[in-house]
C-alpha cells in the first residue's frame, strides 16, 4: 500500500480522500507525490539511528561531567573535614 502526500503541506491522504487534502483542503492534482512505504520506513530508521548516535554522545559527555563533579566534591569534603578537625 502506498501513501499519498499533499504537495502543499505534506499531509497524508487516504484512498477515500483522493480529491483534496484533509489537512489544508488543497485540491490534489499533479502536486501530490506518491511515497513508497519502504522508503518512508527507511527514512524513519535513518533518523532514529542518528538520534541514537546523538544520545550516545550526549550520554558520554554527561558521564564525564558527573565524574568530574564527583571528583571535585571529594576534594571539598576532605577540605571540610580537615577544617572541622583543626577547630
Tell me, yes or no, whether 53 and 82 share the same domain: yes
Are residues 82 and 58 located together in one domain of the fold? yes
Q: What is the mean pLDDT of residues 23-35?
A: 59
Q: How many CB atoms lie within 10 A of CB 76?
A: 9
Element (H, E) at 55: helix 37-86
**pLDDT at residue 28 greater than cutoff 90:** no
Q: How many structural domains are present in the chain?
A: 2
- Residue 41 belongs to a domain: no
1 has a pLDDT exceeding 90: no
* Whole-prediction pTM: 0.46
Going by C-beta distance under 8 Å and a sequence separation of 6 or more, which residues neighbour residue 3? 12, 13, 34, 35, 37, 40
Looking at the fold, whether 62 and 86 belong to one and the same domain comes out as: yes
**DSSP class per residue in 33-53:** EEE-HHHHHHHHHHHHHHHHH
Domain range for 66 is 48-87
pLDDT tens string 32-76: 455 677 887 888 899 999 999 999 999 999 999 999 999 988 877
> Are the beta carbons of 21 and 28 closer than 8 angstroms?
yes
Amino acid at each position: 500500500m502506498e501513501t499519498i502526500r499533499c504537495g502543499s503541506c505534506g499531509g497524508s491522504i487516504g484512498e477515500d480522500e483522493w480529491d483534496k487534502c484533509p489537512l489544508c483542503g488543497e485540491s490534489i492534482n499533479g502536486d501530490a507525490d506518491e511515497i513508497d512505504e519502504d522508503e518512508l520506513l527507511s527514512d524513519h530508521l535513518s533518523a532514529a539511528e542518528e538520534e541514537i548516535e546523538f544520545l550516545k554522545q550526549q550520554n558520554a559527555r554527561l558521564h564525564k561531567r558527573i565524574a568530574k563533579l564527583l571528583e571535585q566534591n571529594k576534594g571539598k569534603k576532605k577540605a571540610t573535614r580537615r577544617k572541622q578537625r583543626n577547630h
